[in-house]
Each structure stands twice: as C-alpha cells, then as structure tokens.
Chain A
Amino acid sequence: MVIASPRRRRPRSTRTGRRSTLASAALLLIGLLATGGAYAAFTGAAAADSSASASIRGANITDGQKLFAANCATCHGMALQGSKAGPTLIGVGAASVDFQVGTGRMPLAANSPQGEKKPRQFTDAQVKNLAAYVASVSPGPGIPAGKYLTGNGNVAKGAELFRINCAMCHNVAGAGGALTQGKYAPSLKGSTAAHIYEAMVTGPQNMPVFNDQNISPEDKANVISYLQYLDNNASPGGLDLGNLGPVSEGLFVWIFALGSIVGITVWLTAKSN
C-alpha cells in the first residue's frame, strides 16, 4: 500500500492497493491460507497494511537522486548496491531513509560503533526527496500513515508491549541502555512518533525489525502513545533522576542526602570561636 503523508501533522492517508512488490509475502499468504489458518489470514491482512511506498506526495525523485549521488553514494554505491564502507540500500524503503537521515544519523560523522543521533544535515523536503528516490529504486517499508502517529492509542497496552519488546535495551522508561562493544540503545525521550514507528519497521543499526506480524500497526501506535505519555507527563514522584533506576538513586542518597546531613553534623559540632 501507499502512504502518502510526508509530515505527521497531516494525519490523512491515501492508500492504494499496490501488491506486486510483495510478491513473496503474497505467495506466503496464499500458502498460509491454503493450509487453512484463520490466524494466518489475519496476519496477512496486517502485513498488507504498511507495505512499500514508491511515491511520496510532493517529493522530487530527481532531486533526491542528485542528493543521493552527492552525499550517500560514496559508501552506498551509485546504484544503491553498497560497498565495503556501507550496506546496500536496495529494499530498505522510504521509512529507513526518513529515519536515518531525518534523525541526523546519516550521513555518518565517523566510523564509530554506531551512528549517533545528531543535528540533521538536510531539510524536511530534502529528506523526503531522498526517501522518494531510494523507494523508487526498489520498494521497502514506507513512511507510516499519520493515523498511527497521533498518540491517542491505548497507553496501558502500549506500556505492556514496550516492557515486553523494547525495555530490554531501551529501559522501561525509554531512558536507553548499553549494548555490546560500545553500542547502545538510545534514549527515546523526545523522539517523534514517525521516527519511532520507522525504527520499529526498519530495525536501524542494532535494533531488530518489529514487522506488522510481530507488532500490528495499531499496537505500534499504542507503543508510541505510551512513549508520548512519558514525554508529556512528569514523574508523579518528583525529579525522575533520568529514570536510570537504583544506580542514580544510590548516588543521590550518598551525595545529596547523606552529604547534606554530614554537612549539618559538621555545623552542629562546630566550636564557636
């Protein structure tokens, strides 16, 4: 299907039923249907919901191609085929480009354990053009429909899904966490709904892909709603100390609580002279 909403403030989506790009998925679908599972039919329908987008409204593929040749092709190749320095981009889709370039991770600043979020290099329109170009070469996951990005989903369901699927790396409150060899799961505080959705669909860098059979688009919307709830509501208990858990609590009690009490004991026993 096609999702033609380049910006998330436009929740309207237009969707057409382009299926040819999912030939293998469709074959699988038929196979599953043939074995007669009602469940299989359901997941098949979910899979159809966020398939590739080749055209992004208002995007200029030619401009995108020029930007790509100038900024990305050194590593990813003129025909997106990849090189020793960077992976192929065939099949990554518009969602991946929008996420990687839109959060400033691409172009990379340096060869480091992982691409880091940083101030982005391109304007919104340029990001869309790049995304449209990459998607035009070969199909892949598209930019998500606005209706999943409103943050009006079921927060409790989203929180539960987040704990089960995401908290291992990102921490229960999305504060981030360590991975191996200097890699890490970044903090999700302040991430936009579209980028969260795209990250789930494309699995950037060390993140696994959460496809629509795994977490349905509605549930992705619920996860986004939970993260936005955390962003919009301060901790009920006061300062959250970065939501890092007992480590920051322990440091706080030693440095601030016991520290101030020791200061008071010094004051109480000071000799007046």
Chain B
Amino acid sequence: MTIDTQGPVTTTHGQERAEDASVVGRMANYLDERTSLSGAVKFLGRKIFPDHWSFMLGEVALYSFVVILLSGTFLTFFFQASMSEVQYDGSYIPMKGVEMSAALQSTLNISFDVRGGLLIRQVHYWAALLFVASIGLHMLRVFFTGAFRKPRELNWVVGFLLFVMAMAEGFTGYSLPDDLLSGNGLRIIDGMVKGLPVVGTWISYLLFGGEFPGTDIVGRLYTLHILLLPAIVVALIGIHMVLLIINKHTQFAGPGRTNDNVVGVPIMPVFAAKAGGFFFIVFGVLMLVAATVTINPIWNYGPYDPSPVSAGTQPDWYIGFADGALRLVPPGWEFLIGPYTVSMNIIVPVLALLVLLGAVAAYPFFEAWVTGDRREHHIADRPRNAPTRTAIGAAGLTFYAALWAAASSDIVATHFRLSIESVIHLCQALLIAGPFVAFFVTKRVCLALQKKDREIALHGFESGRIVRLPGGEYIEVHQPLSEYERWRLVSYEDYQPIMLRPDRRGRITAGMRARARVSNWFFEDRISPVSRPELEASQHH
C-alpha cells in the first residue's frame, strides 16, 4: 500500500469519488480503502489468457473439483463413517432387513430417503470421474505441446501430484460406502500391501487396525477423504494457479505471438465472463449426467462380505491401470529362498506402476537434460514438431492403455465373444510390444507431417489447376500461403544432437557420453524448419 507517502491525496480522491459514485462503486471503494484489493484486481484483471480449446481442460478439472466440494459437503451431512452393524430398514425393498454397516445404511438412506440425495450422490461420483479424466487429458495436452519446459517444470510436478492426489481421493471415496464392490477393492489393496516382502503384513495390520477388514478402515478413510486429502488438493491447486500466473500461459505460434508476449483476452471482463459461464456449463453437464445415468448402484452390490465377489468387479477407471497390472502377471512368478517363498506376483506390477508414475513426474527434467536447453519456452509446440517426445508420449500412453484394457478383460471377453485368456494374452503382448510399435509409428507420422508442412510452406497448396504453357509444358498451379498461415508452419524450435566436446577442463565424462548418445537418439531424425533463404528461393521461381 502507498498510504504513507500519498495518504492524504488518496483519501481526498476517495471522498470526491464516493460522493457521486454508484452503490457498487462506493462498496468497491470501501473495500479497496481497507484491503488495497484494487492493485491485485488490476494485476489479475489484466492477465492475458490465450484462446485455444485445449487450454480449457485444466479449467474443467477445477470446476469438477468445485462441484465435488459442494456435493461432498451435502453428503457429509448424512453419511455415517461407521462400521457398526445395523439392520437396514429404509425404503429400498431388496435390502429390507439385511445386516450391514452403518456406512452402507446411511449411503442407502442418502440414495432413497434423503430428498435429492441420490442426485447429489451421483453428481459427486460423476464429478469425481470427470475430475480425474479431465486432469488426465490436461496432462496429455501439456505433455504433447511441451508446455512443461522451463520455466514450468515445477508446475508440471505440482500437477502430477494433483493427479496422484485425485486418484487417492477417488479411491478413498470409492471405499467409503462399505458395499460389496468397494470391499473387494479394499481387499485387493490389502493383498497388494501384504504382497510387499517382510513389511507387508505389518503395514496391512496397521492400516486396517488388525486383520482385514476390521472395523476401523471406513472411519480412517473418511478422515483422509474429507479432511487431509482435500486440504492437500486445495493447497496444490493454489500453488498450481499461482505458478500459472507467475509463469504466464503458453500459446501456439502465430503472427505477433512471440516467446516474450502473451496474445489473448484479459481476464477482466472477457475471460472471467467466459470462465464463469464455462463453470456453469460443466456443472450443467454433470447435473444432466447425474440425473439420467446411474453410477455405483450400491443397492445392487449390497453389504461387504468377504465371501462373495461379483463378476465384473472393477475399480473406477483411474485405478484400472493398477488392476490391469495385477491381471497381466503370468502365473508362477515366485521362487524359494531356503524355507521362504518369495513372490514376484505382486511386487513386480507394483514396481512397474511406480516406475510409470515416476517417469511421468521426471520427464521434463529428462528432456531438459537431453536438449541441454536452458532457455525459457512460452510457445507451445505442435506435437509433430517434437517427433521423439510425441513418440515417447504415444508409447507411454500405449503402455497405460494396455494396463487399462486388461482391467476390463472379463467385460471385453464377454462383449466381444472372446476367451478371457486370449484377451489377457493380447493385453500382455500389447503391454510389451505395443509401446515400441507406437513409438515407431508415431515418430514416422510426425516426420511425415513435418515434411508435408515444409512442402506446403515452400510451394503452397496444390490447387488441382493444370495449365498448359505456350511452349507446350504443363504445370500445376500452386496456391501460395498467406503470411499468417506460413508463420504457423515455419516457426518451431529445431534441436540438433549435442556434439560430444570436452568440457573446460578437457574431460569427457561418462555422463556427457550418455547425454550425447541419448541426444543423438532424440534428434538424429529431424526435419528442419524452412529457412529464410529457402523461402525466398521458393518465392522467386
């Protein structure tokens, strides 16, 4: 605030304004004199956001989270996180008189006896699925456009943590009603924990307060679900937003768009209005889905009982890759050390998942190391212009998709009339071979697209108009690009393999060798952007 130096001036100015200002103006003034909000509003209001549909995916996640908070608060008014035994006496006939935990009973009551309860329960659940899905899509956008490069690596990591936290939120929520489906999900987690060598059983007993399922777990998950995890998510979202403002948003290349500016609309009033409207659109879509489509019909699943496991028991989609990893383990991965059986059946898939997640978190640092590029990047890449990165992304996506598909192997088998064994074997093949095929194909497609772009930038579009010259020669007339279109095609970053040179002290270390080798692998196949001389030459002929 500037009161100390310019205090009197500001005050008189404020008084003058207050006399003839509207009610809103006076209220704004009142607030501003006490909080100096106007500075922040001016700063934020002038922030510019570029306009591209893929830049709105993170917003979808944010708005889903708001819907989750609102609906979740409503649910806490009626949910009882207790595993004490009660007899259901609500209005759903096929559950009447059935022994169940208070958690399931209260969830059934929310569904059938609380006014609007089922709608809110379903909107909470659908919003949760959408939350994680939109985070996933947002991450893919950031990855494939290279928006994680300096200075945004840290925000990538924050976003990654949000993704993990969202999965944790989802899973703890899935487990709360203590129905048959969620109980079996917890049993699998229990199994995974117990599959860890030596410490597994101890950790399991610690988590469940004794032998699974015990009577503690729902209460513990509830605390995580409504207290700790949301607090972490909110804090991370705050950091994510602040970093977004500090780093500014990326933009795609275009005329007038450089690495040093941001072209778009200011937050006030256009972007804020659009974003506010978009919130209600997301809310509306979620409400529409929740009002018309059943989700998690706990009234079919019934109370958890360790003996029955329903066909089609699956986790929610975002945990599917973990379930799939367990399903794809070939039989017999265990051996004996003395009298002890050492089982690889659980620990290998768990490690594979951790490696996959770790690779996602670490990728920006890996790429920065490979390119040796320390500059800031504010122009988003078109995926084709970074062929190796795009190919790595496609490979990772294929790996994830194979795990994901494996989690629904039984449903795939029944609906496509296959045997479940062949589906599993197919997924195993896809898991191992798929990433390599995806890498190769994607990289070639990217290079081909770049070639096409180069061709178009130099010679324009083929018009299909054939002209016969007076001398008898036939030529096809090419339609030249406008400057605006050409700009989009020719301005991208061109990296070359790093040369292996001795450092200042004349040494070549193993790290440098490794880096040169990876850099060569990364950039040996490349299409360089059209250069100015080439462009001029093409325009003359």
Contact = CB atoms under 8 A, between A and B. Distances in A.
B130 A257 contact: yes
Interface stretch (B309-317, B330-338, B345-353, B356-364): B309-317
Nearest to A270: B53
Given A177-B312, A177-B414, A235 B294 contact: yes
A239 B314 CA distance: 19
Contacts, number: 196
B208 interface: no
A238 to B, nearest CB: 4
B308 A252 contact: no
Nearest to A173: B300
A108 to B, nearest CB: 16
Interface in A174-223: 175-185
B344 interface: no
Given A163-B308, A177-B312, A249 B285 contact: no
B419 A181 contact: yes
Contacts of B421: 180-181
A264 interface: yes
Nearest to A254: B133
A164 B306 CA distance: 10
B57 A265 contact: yes
Interface in B284-323: 285-286, 289, 291-297, 299-302, 305, 307-317, 320
B60 interface: yes
A262 B55 CA distance: 11
Secondary structure class of chain A's binding surface, majority of residues: helix
Interface residues of A, number: 58
Interface in B71-108: 92-98
A167 B308 contact: yes
A58 B316 CA distance: 54
B294 A160 contact: no
B207 interface: no
B311 A167 contact: yes
B302 A258 contact: no
B285 A257 contact: yes
Contact of A237 (B97, B118, B411): B118
A170 B419 contact: no
Contact of B294 (A113, A183, A185, A241): A241
Nearest to B274: A268
Contact of B414 (A184, A251, A252, A269): A184
B301 A156 contact: no
B278 interface: yes
A158 B57 CA distance: 46
Contacts of A164: 305, 307-308
Contacts of A257: 126, 129-130, 133, 285-286, 289
A229 interface: yes
Interface string A52-94: 0000000000000000000000000000000000000000000
Contacts of B56: 265, 268-269
A244 B411 contact: yes
Given A180-B420, A244-B411, A258 B134 contact: yes
9 contacts: A113-B419, A156-B97, A163-B180, A168-B310, A171-B311, A181-B419, A183-B419, A240-B294, A249-B296
